[in-house]
Amino acid sequence: MKSYRKSLAMSFILDKEVTEPALKEMYDRRKTELRASHILVRLTPNASPEDTLAAYRKAMDIVGLLKSGQDFGTIARNMSDDPTAKNNSGDLYYFTSGMMVKPFEDACYALKKGEITSTPVRTAYGYHIIKITDRRPNVKAIRASHILIRFPNENPTPDDTLKAWNEIAAIADSIRAGADFGAMARAHSQDPGSAEQGGDLGFFERRRMVPQFDEAAFNLKVGEVSPIVRTRFGYHLIKVTGIDSIAPYAAMKDDLRRIYQRYRFSEDYRSYIETLKKRYGFATDSAGVSVLLALLDSTKTTSDSLWHLLPTSEQAHTPVFSFFTSGTSKQAAYTVDVGSILENLEQNQEFHNLKLTRENLRTIFDRLSETELINYRTRNIEAEYPEFAKLLREYEDGIILFKAQQEHIWKRIAPSDSALRAFYENHRSDYTFPDRVRFAEIFVATDSLARIVEDSLKHGVPFDTLVVRYTSRSGMKEKKGVWDLLPVTENDLTKKAWTMEIGEVSEPIKFLYGYSIIKVLEKAPARQKTYDEAVSEVASQFQEYRAKKLDEEWIQELRAKYPVKINEDALAKAFSNLKNSYSGKD
């Protein structure tokens, strides 16, 4: 129980004081998207002090040039170590929280539009001088239609571009005069993936399209048609038909958590540990470390025998880590001694394969000190966070109840094969397969991509080939998109598949967070299960039946042994008070 309490407390406090605040910050920041330009003075993470100083001085010189009024883009092209700056003048385009490294993001969100960082920002890539060129409310995605007049190749001549311009300009004039955008797209657009759908590209997020198209589309309001936009493909007219707003925090929390745990948590965790060290006056005792090193065999791991010498009583009680929480006091409030460290090393599976070399011991000491710091932080967590005390109490009560149920119920359930077969025969009608269907699926994120897949199918490209090329559902490329037999009522795809013929291929179907094209492989009508097919269900229901019966018998025994008396007057008064509180009466 003590071990569980430590584990639960560590998880709880890290979530409460590290993860949860960071997730809320990410969400709040995601309501705003930024556009920034930067100038990079490159520096490796492990650069020498001399190289670091030289890079910092260069960065400060650049800050000085900017303060004197020189153009940011010009300096970025000429002085930035970011190779893309020569073409984009340092422009990083639009981004939001979770897309840049944390120090860079923090600096960006602290700036107003048009502001430049007054001092260089250090990241793993070097020093950055940052300018915010736009701040705007963020949207999750937009839905747009477009009309494309293509260039004949990637290097069009002036005559090619003029011809395309005249054609798109005539279409734009017709739309301004009242022509329907969708009808004009079907008649004139040279994008085969969207023309038949009136130019509809479906919903797409920022950065999914080429920059010129993306910027023009995200600057439009619903129903608005863009000016003529040039990209490497040709000339476009764009019409926004819908906007998908940022989801509520509760709906985004899991996705934010995944991003945070993968890219941000480790850095925030290290900062949190440093904060705890300062708060609790954490110190490592060099004498204790020396004693510990003398006891360890650097050629062995803790899973080997005789990996350490037996310490004397004095050695075992020598402090290794100390907490001086009172600040000025020279008396440690709490210590972790050599004996505790040896015990921890022996019990901790994390260290069992590490040889006890000085280099590995640095890692081990860091991990042990982190654990001790968090344990110390959570020593009175029940008083500070009542919800944790409740969580722990529920677990303790659950353990007691589980042990009692195990003794009185679960140990007494031991179904034999004959008992299960008899139970199956008495309940045969309960074990049936419903109507089921098996199909292969190509799943893509956007309906524009789904239309490209559909067009390829119409031109004879094999379904299996397109699954491997396009499907984005995890683990399904290896299975060629094939699902096992599923009940017809499982979801919208199974319902659709049941209405189709074997071998038939569907049109794109809007499903969950994307679009699916399915091919029906098998249709299996409802039937009764054999005993072998149903045995797991039979065993489960038999155990449930027996457990319920034994539970009822046990409860009756407890009622007889420990009679319960209900104070009806107190109960009535409690419900009366509850009713009055809801009605607003005193």
CB-CB contact of 33 with 207 (8 Å): no
Domain assignment present for 440: yes
- Shared domain check, 520 and 460: yes
Alpha carbon distances (Å) from 78 to 36, 116, 121: 18, 18, 19
Quickly state the pLDDT bin for 576 (edges 50, 70, 90): confident
Report pLDDT for 373. 92
Tell me what the pLDDT averaged over the chain comes to. 92
- Shared domain check, 150 and 113: no
Other C-beta atoms lying within 10 Å of the C-beta of residue 559: 10
pLDDT tens across 35-77, in order? 999 999 999 989 999 999 999 999 999 999 999 999 999 999 9
Domain that includes residue 439, residue range: 432-528
pLDDT tens across 335-379, in order? 889 999 999 888 888 888 888 988 888 888 899 899 989 999 998
The number of domains in the chain is 4
0.85 exceeded by pTM: no
Report pLDDT for 161. 96
pLDDT tens across 278-303, in order? 999 999 999 999 999 999 999 999 88
Q: Which residue has the tokens 């590490």?
A: 354
- Shared domain check, 474 and 498: yes
The CATH number of the domain holding residue 55 is 3.10.50.40
Report the alpha-carbon distance of residue 146 to residue 215 in Å, rounded: 14
Angle of helix 447-458 relative to helix 463-470, nearest 10 degrees? 150
Q: End-to-end CA distance of the chain, in Å? A: 44
- Shared domain check, 122 and 158: no
Report the alpha-carbon distance of residue 90 to residue 74 in Å, rounded: 9
- Shared domain check, 147 and 120: no
- Shared domain check, 148 and 105: no
Report pLDDT for 416. 86
Domain assignment present for 235: yes
Q: What is the largest CA-CA distance in the chain?
A: 99
- Which of 149-155's residues contact partners 24+ apart within 8 Å by CB, and which partners? 149/188, 149/189, 149/190, 149/234, 149/235, 149/236, 150/190, 150/191, 150/233, 150/234, 151/232, 151/233, 151/234, 154/232
Q: State which of 137, 160, 177 marks the end of a domain.
A: 137
Could you tell me which of 272, 297, 464, 483 has the C-alpha nearest to residue 378? Answer: 272
- Shared domain check, 156 and 102: no
Report pLDDT for 412. 79
- Shared domain check, 121 and 152: no
E strands of 331-408, at which residues?
334-337
